[in-house]
Structure 1
Amino acid sequence: MIVKLLRAAAVAAAMLAGVVAVAQSAPPKHGAVPSATKPSWAELTPAQQMALSPLKGEWNTLEAVRKQKWLEIANRFSSMQPGEQQRMHDRMRDWVKLTPEQRKVARENYARVKKIDKDERSAKWQQYQQLPEEQKQKLAADAARKRKAGAASPKPGDTPPSTSPAQPAPPAPNAK
């Protein structure tokens, strides 16, 4: 159970990296129809366009609440170190590549992990980090096998399949 929960935490952290999850976390209101909302891509400042460049292709289809959250990230982008900016762009590109179902699963994993006490989450991450590399690879392979098997016939109450890469990235510090 700890390993499974830890794996979910690593998956959520890797895919969402805190800020990406914040930008996409609010589900659309029931019955909401996606439509062009303000601001359009052309209305963004050059700095915002640069910060959000991986999202350019889908920006004009995003709901207002999602755009607002991405804009909050864009406003912090210039204060990030170059490595953090690159990581943010990489994660945005990864996010754009996900299917709507994979995004939903990632959001659910992130929400589940956020419910775990920060100290407990940190302790579980440390526990995971102490595992031998072979054990981490075995866990990743097992999770991939379960995803493939579960995709064909999900059962009520099952944990949703993960969208993780083979090696999880450590959670972002102070991710909100």
Structure 2
Amino acid sequence: MQLSVIRKIQHLLSLSLLIGLFHYSGMVHAEGIVWDSLSPQQQETLAPIKEHWDDLPPNRQERLSEGSERWNSLTPDQRNRMQEKMDRFKNMSPEEKARIKERMQEFKKLPPEERKVLRERWKNMPPEEKEKMRERFRTMSPEEKESMKQQWRQKKMERMERHHD
């Protein structure tokens, strides 16, 4: 009998501790990231926004911190390619940017294993083939692009049906 009381007390203490930890982690997250807690490499990468860092929402600080870690882990060649992509994106029309964001959201909705397959397929594709695909998409009419989207959606539905069977 006394053993069950001890277990209940242990369970309540564990639960209290967990609740306290969740509450504490929420407070830390709500307060954001202190600039001085960033690594020197992160501070260097994020230097252009240092003056505004404390004004940013905590979730934005977190995303920027994680992004700077990823950036710092890239090779110089990878950084150059990323910079070129960012420059191209900056020069796009609002409509083009919206389409790209929409495609990214659609990609994020795919199951993780399907995203992995698509990334691998793209990664292993010869550069000439990648450029052909890019050019083909750029030159498509809006109707052709919509038709392609419909085909992708249909294939997605078929894959989902096969996956659930």
TM-score by length of 1: 0.42
* More helix per residue: 2
TM-score by length of 2: 0.45
